[in-house]
Amino acid sequence: MHHTQHTLSVIVENDFGVLSRVATLFSGRGFNIDSLSVAPTNEEGLSRITIVTRGDEQVLEQINKQLYKLIDVLKVLDFSDGSALERELALIKVSAEDDSRAEVLRIADIFRAKIIDVTPKSYTIEATGNPNKIDAILELLRPLGLKELVRTGAVAIGRGAKGWNG
């Protein structure tokens, strides 16, 4: 079976325990979560959960249907077809001593990342972009010594003029 990564955007009632219902669904049925982020939206009483998950066609169909089956879920958007813009933010604390200090700055500059904290031995970098871009900057920084990494997980929004509900 062909496994593909999917980014799902789930519009939910901003109710007590809704995140727990979604998480329980994934763990209880053995679905993968590569990343998950959640926050309220511009619409009163609604939150948006972005889940990056993997599976074959049948599994993804089940994930979709099972999410819809939750009473608090209003809409599930599947952005696997490249119809969306995806962004992620990473905070990266990287060793930066002697000759590696300039290298870290160069890498940050190439990725248009910001230095948000500096010590004599480290830089803390704020990088945003498509999750692939975050992976790429990490690959370059890793040999220099990653001290700490925090990623938000992807958020996604559809391209074009329309909102999710038209």
Partner 1 sequence: MKMNGARIMLECLKKEGVTTVFGYPGGTVINLYDELFNFKEIRHILPRHEQAGTHAADGYARATGRVGVAIATSGPGATNTVTGIATAYMDSIPMVIITGQVPTALIGNDAFQEVDIIGITRPCTKHSFLIRDVKDIALTMKKAFYIARSGRPGPVLVDFPKDVQMSQGEFHYPEEVEIRGYKPNLSGHPRQVEKAVTMILAAKRPVMYVGGGAVLGGASDELTLLARKLTVPVTTTLMGLGAFPESDPLSLGMLGMHGSYCANMAMTNSDLIIAVAARFDDRVTGKLSTFAPHAKIIHIDVDPTSIKKNVRVDLPIVGDVKDVLTKMIVQADKNSEKLAEFSAAVEPWHLEISTWKKKHPIDYVQSTATIKPQFVIQKLRELSDDDAIISTDVGQHQMWTAQFFQFNKPRTLLTSGGLGTMGYGLPAAMGAQAAFPERQVITICGDGGVQMNIQEMATLVQNGLPVKIVILNNNFLGMVRQWQELFFDKRYSSTCMELPIDYIKLADAFGAKGFLATKPEEVEDVIRQGLQHSGPVIMEFKISREEKVLPMVPAGASLNEMVLNA
CB-wise, 11 or 137, nearer to partner 1?
A: 11
Helical segments of 1-56, H only:
18-28
Given a contact cutoff of 8 angstroms between Cβ atoms, the answer to whether 127 and 111 are in contact is yes
CB-wise, 71 or 146, nearer to partner 1?
A: 71
**Residue 108 amino acid letter:** A
Least Å from the CB of residue 44 to partner 1 = 12
Least Å from the CB of residue 54 to partner 1 = 18
Tell me which H or E stretch contains 31: none
What are the residues binding partner 1 (CB under 8 A)?
Answer: 12-13, 16-17, 20-21, 24, 28, 58, 61-62, 65-66, 68-74
Least Å from the CB of residue 133 to partner 1 = 34
Rounded to whole angstroms, the Cα distance separating 50 from 164 reads 13
CB-wise, 70 or 140, nearer to partner 1?
A: 70
Given a contact cutoff of 8 angstroms between Cβ atoms, the answer to whether 60 and 3 are in contact is no
Q: Which two tokens stand for residue 12?
A: 């939910």
Least Å from the CB of residue 46 to partner 1 = 10
CB-wise, 65 or 121, nearer to partner 1?
A: 65
Least Å from the CB of residue 13 to partner 1 = 6
- Bridge partner list, 4: 55
CB-wise, 59 or 125, nearer to partner 1?
A: 59
Rounded to whole angstroms, the Cα distance separating 166 from 154 reads 23
